Amino acid sequence: MINKHIFCDLDGTLLKESTYIDEEDINALKEAERNGYSISIATGRLDYEVKSILDNYGFNGFRVSQNGGVVFDHNDQLVHQVELEMLDVKKILNELTSFNVITFYQTPNSYIVEERLPLVIEFEKTQKYIKYHENRNIKNELDQQNIVTISIWAYKDENIKIKKYLDTVLPSHIVSYISSSYTLDITHVVNSKGNAINKLCMLNNISLEDIVVIGDSHNDISMFELTKNSYVMNEANDEVKSYASFVVSSVKEAINHVSKK
């Protein structure tokens, strides 16, 4: 059984401009696989996207989606899924009413929006994996949905201000992650990439010394804290960089550094 694992973030790390994957990065990951590493993904995106990417490139690693809210092992077995309680969903939505944002409801398998606004449609056109489902009655059907994450789009860096506000008004078991300059993901506090990876390692007898993590944003900090083998993209802000051991310009550079250890 392979006991060395690389956990790679998608947006801003492996997935460039939210649309494509550099061939050199994939080739580096395939070389790492030939050298005994299992390739896994840890992202804020949904599981069906993670599975599609891993299948497309022939990798059979772990799947950590929705910032650790939904986790599958390499045998396609669900090992973790924690949804938001309905009272928490309503509390979050109520606190967001004073902000100019687009809200997304993320179930284990779908992105739901109240309205497919032109901005949403145009973004979707640039995406290979994302599909947004419109439900104009979603707010009246919340009890029929298994919502793991509520995500918002805001004006650039406005999500920082929104996060600071939410941190003061939401209960302590709810956490928010800045996943891009425009995006904020809100979920249960047990849902983090770090918790998910740690759980997978415990269940599969994997030493944290034998994992490598690669990311670029605040939602990657929890996995940076797990291991000294942590790599952050050069484009990340200084706070995020401070949690990782090494700063690199690409996934390929991270893999090359790992291979030289």
Q: How far apart are the first and last CA of the chain?
A: 22
Q: Where are the beta strands (DSSP E) in the chain?
A: 4-8, 15-16, 20-21, 37-42, 63-65, 70-72, 78-81, 102-106, 111-113, 132-134, 149-153, 174-178, 183-188, 211-215, 230-233, 246-248
Q: How much is the average pLDDT of 215-221?
A: 96
* DSSP summary character for residue 22: -
Report pLDDT digits (tens) over 170-195: 999 999 999 888 999 999 999 999 99
Q: How much is the average pLDDT of 245-261?
A: 94
CATH topology of domain 4-81+191-259: Rossmann fold (3.40.50)
pLDDT at 53: 95
Residues in the chain, overall count: 261
pTM, entire model:
0.94
- Is the domain spanning 86-188 CATH 3.40.50.460? The answer is no
pLDDT at 186: 98
With tokens 């302590």, the residue in question is: 172
Domain ranges of the chain: 4-81+191-259, 86-188
Report pLDDT digits (tens) over 121-174: 999 999 888 999 999 999 999 999 999 999 999 998 899 999 999 999 999 999
pLDDT at 1: 46
Taken in order 205, 233, 100, 107, is the CA torsion positive or negative?
A: negative
Q: Do residues 63 and 8 lie in contact, with contact meaning Cβ atoms separated by under 8 Å?
A: no
C-alpha span between 244 and 257 (Å, rounded): 14
pLDDT at 128: 86
